[in-house]
Amino acid sequence: MNGAAPSVDTIRTTHGAIALSHLTAQIDGYERRAASGEKTSVAWAKLIDLVTLKAQILGRIADYERASVLAERLAEAFSEDGLAFLTRARTRASLHRFAEAMEDLERAVQLGLSGREVDAEKAAILQAVGRYADAMTIRQCIADVFPDFDSAAGLASLHADLGETDAAEHWFDESYRRYRSVSPFELAQLEFQRGHMWMAKDRERALHWFLTAWRRLPFYARAEGHLAEVEFALGHRAAAISRLKRLAADADDPDYAAELAGILREIGRIDESNAWQARAEVRYEELIARHPAAFADHGAHFWLSMGNNPGKALDLARLNLEIRDTPNARQLFSTALAACSGATRAGGATVRPTASVNELGDAT
């Protein structure tokens, strides 16, 4: 199709309240039946996918964990069913257990599963771990065969990760043109990715897309969290703090409390900042103990900034780099390394480096 993509406002989708009501009601129905012993691998996989979607939208760690537990049980109960392993691969990838997720995909293929779903999941994992060329080959193949919304959105996301904003914008626009649904979930997630791509390069654009995603889906916690971050950077302090206070109070994800603590500190509200920082720190500790890979990245960021523990940040940044060799992971590791090195030189009392001197030397 030629011509400009339709503007976002012209692509109306079902209001988030209706969509979320249907989503949670569906989950409740599947959960009830699962509890009463009615289980098929298809129904179970559907339940897990729905719980994961809810986790992505509401940003609730508990839902990710619930999906993960269900998926582990599914793979045990249906050990000869490829769908069980494809489903578990998704939940493991959502917790950054990428190597195990890839093993699950291979098992799914051994059990006879093939086709687009498997390929798309593989591409997503390769992309997440920084194997962009391999991911591109798969995503391009899918797009050649299936010229639809999902394939265009996959390419948009990959070009965004590569920092190729022109190509990414082309595919984001193409995704809109190909959208033939009224579900808000996929479009809001696409808009979030678009905003994320612009965060470091063009905050006004990032603001536009985060705002669009949040308006489309007002319960979309990640979009609102990032929206608040950009709003603050653009000087809309009150709005940002208001959003983050609500998110931090409701969420079991410590990112919002950490972000809020940083903002409050920056504007001199130290006592409030300390309270939110303490809350975030406790929660990060809990989550890293349970899911080290999933929270290594955000934990490293926290202890590099508010948490003020470069040594701990370096450990986490190293773990993060081990599981995904992306430019961001390398940058985080370098920053942590530099912070550690600087802190060691300064003899800072709060610095507790656990990285070895060799590691510091090798990386620098």
- Closer to another protein by Cβ: residue 31 or 272: 31
What CA–CA distance (Å, rounded) separates 133 from 74?
32
Based on CB atoms, which residue is closest to another protein, 33 or 73?
33
Q: Which is nearer to another protein, 56 or 309 (CB)?
A: 56
Q: Which of 2, 4, 13, 325 binds another protein (CB under 8 A)?
A: 13
Does position 357 interact with another protein (CB under 8 A)? The reply is no
Contacting residues for 219 by C-beta, under 8 A, at least 6 apart: 16, 20, 57, 58
Q: Is 25 in the site for another protein (CB under 8 A)?
A: yes
Report CA dihedral (203, 204, 206, 207) to the nearest 10 degrees. Answer: 110
Phi-psi region of 345 (alpha: psi -120 to 50; beta: other; left: phi over 0): alpha
Tell me the closest approach of the beta carbon of residue 32 to another protein, in angstroms. 9
Cα–Cα distance list, 340 to 194, 312, 325, 327 (Å):
33, 9, 20, 20
Closest CA to 53 of 155, 156, 186, 211: 186
Tokens encoding 330: 């390398």
- Contact window for another protein (CB under 8 A) among 29-37, 68-76, 189-197, 224-232: 29-37
In the set 69, 182, 200, 357, which binds another protein (CB under 8 A)? 182
Q: Exposed, middle or buried: residue 144 (CB in 10 Å: 0-12, 13-18, 19+)? A: exposed
Place of tokens 């959003």: 243
- Name which of 38 and 322 has its Cβ closer to another protein: 38
User: What does the alpha-carbon distance between residue 223 and residue 233 come to, in Å, rounded to a whole number?
Assistant: 15
Residue 11 as a binder of another protein (CB under 8 A): the answer is yes
Q: Which two tokens stand for residue 136?
A: 């591109």
Query: Which one of the spans 21-29, 78-86, 205-213, 283-291 is the region binding another protein (CB under 8 A)?
Result: 21-29
Residue choice 9, 80, 166, 271 for contact with another protein (CB under 8 A): 9
From 2, 3, 4, 14, residue interacting with another protein (rule: CB under 8 A): 14
d(CA 108, CA 37): 25
Near another protein by CB under 8 A: residue from 15, 73, 131, 170: 15
Can you tell me which of 38, 76, 250, 325 binds another protein, judged by CB under 8 A? 38
Residues 162-181 that bind another protein (CB under 8 A): 180-181
Binding segment for another protein (CB under 8 A), chosen from 39-47, 190-198, 206-214, 299-307, is 39-47
Q: At closest approach, how far in Å is the CB of 16 from another protein?
A: 9
Q: Looking at beta carbons only, is 4 or 289 nearer to another protein?
A: 4
Min. distance of Cβ 45 from another protein in angstroms? 12
Nearer residue to another protein within complex by CB, 11 or 360: 11
Nearer to another protein, 187 or 337 (CB): 187
Query: Distance from CA of residue 200 to its chain's centroid?
Result: 17
26 near another protein, judged by CB under 8 A: yes
Rule CB under 8 A: is residue 28 a binding residue for another protein?
A: yes
Task: Kindly state the smallest distance separating residue 81's Cβ from another protein, in Å.
Answer: 13
> What is the C-alpha separation between 349 and 344, in angstroms, rounded?
9
Query: Do residues 321 and 332 lie in contact, with contact meaning Cβ atoms separated by under 8 Å?
Result: yes
Alpha-carbon gap, residue 64 to 94, rounded angstroms: 8
Q: Which residues contact 20 (CB under 8 A, 6 or more apart)?
A: 57, 219
Of the candidate residues 42, 200, 249, 357, the single one contacting another protein (CB under 8 A): 42
User: What 3-state DSSP class applies to 112?
Assistant: coil
Footprint of another protein (CB under 8 A): 6, 9-15, 17-18, 21-22, 25-26, 28-30, 33, 38, 40, 42-43, 180-183
